[in-house]
């Protein structure tokens, strides 16, 4: 499909957007780990662009930051959910 991002692109965009949202809210990685009850090592890998989270954590992150999953994955530049 034209215009769709490949897996490595998605991971990179996800990491950029997660870090942007985190910094905008003045959060540390440890804050997200605590609030979402996710292992710090996972948060570190997400923020470093090594892996994307599972669907369960994508939903939790979208809720946590009040953005759409599509925004987190770089499928849209619109943050708000419909």
Could you read off the pLDDT of 13-25 as tens digits, one per residue? 999 999 999 999 9
Q: What is the pLDDT of residue 19?
A: 98
pLDDT tier at 4, thresholds 50, 70, 90: low
> Would you state the structure tokens that stand for residue 39, as one six-digit string?
């292992």
Q: What is the pTM of this model?
A: 0.88
Q: What is the pLDDT of residue 48?
A: 94
Query: Is a pLDDT exceeding 80 seen at residue 2?
Result: no
pLDDT tier at 1, thresholds 50, 70, 90: very low
What is the CATH topology of the domain spanning 7-72? 434 Repressor (Amino-terminal Domain) (1.10.260)
User: How many angstroms separate the CA atoms of 54 and 51, rounded?
Assistant: 9
Question: Which residue in 1, 27, 2, 5 sits closest to 71, CA to CA?
Answer: 5
């Amino acid at each position: 499909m034209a215009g769709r991002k490949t897996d490595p692109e998605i991971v990179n965009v996800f990491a950029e957007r997660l870090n942007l949202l985190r910094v905008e809210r003045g959060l540390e990685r440890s804050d997200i780990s605590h609030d979402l009850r996710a292992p710090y090592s996972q948060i570190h890998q997400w923020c470093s662009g090594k892996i994307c989270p599972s669907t369960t954590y994508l939903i939790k992150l979208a809720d946590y930051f009040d953005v759409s999953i599509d925004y987190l994955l770089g499928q849209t530049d619109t943050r708000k959910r419909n």
